[in-house]
Amino acid sequence: MAAFTPEPTASTFDLANWLFVRLVVLAVLTFYAAIVVSELLSSVVGVGLERTVFARAAVYLIGLWFALQLWFEATRPRRNARSERERRQSGQCYR
């Protein structure tokens, strides 16, 4: 899934753009999913809207978990690019 793994780069601007776009899309989808779950529970099961707070909270926690996964995925290429650059500068690059 190439959409969820950024290219290794030394540019923090590219990584910030990559992360921002995915976090905005994730936030919109999470908000929409919480609304859908809330409406489904209130119409199909017959639970009042005030009782769907836990279902919405569960959807928001899942969205937060995905956001953290994206955050850590965005920091990995920066770390890999930095270690590669440091290895080249120190002369430890084996070819």
11-31 pLDDT tens trace: 778 888 888 999 999 999 999
Higher pLDDT, 4 or 53: 53
Among 32, 49, 31, 33, smallest CA distance to 41 is for: 49
38-48 pLDDT tens trace: 888 888 777 77
Mean per-residue pLDDT for 30-34?
95
Query: CA-CA distance, 52 to 41, in Å (whole number)?
Result: 7
pLDDT the model gives residue 46: 75
Q: What's the pTM value of the predicted model, to 2 decimals?
A: 0.69
CA atoms within 13 A on the CB side of 47: 13
For the chain, give every domain's residue range.
Answer: 12-81
pLDDT the model gives residue 74: 82
CA atoms within 13 A on the CB side of 23: 16
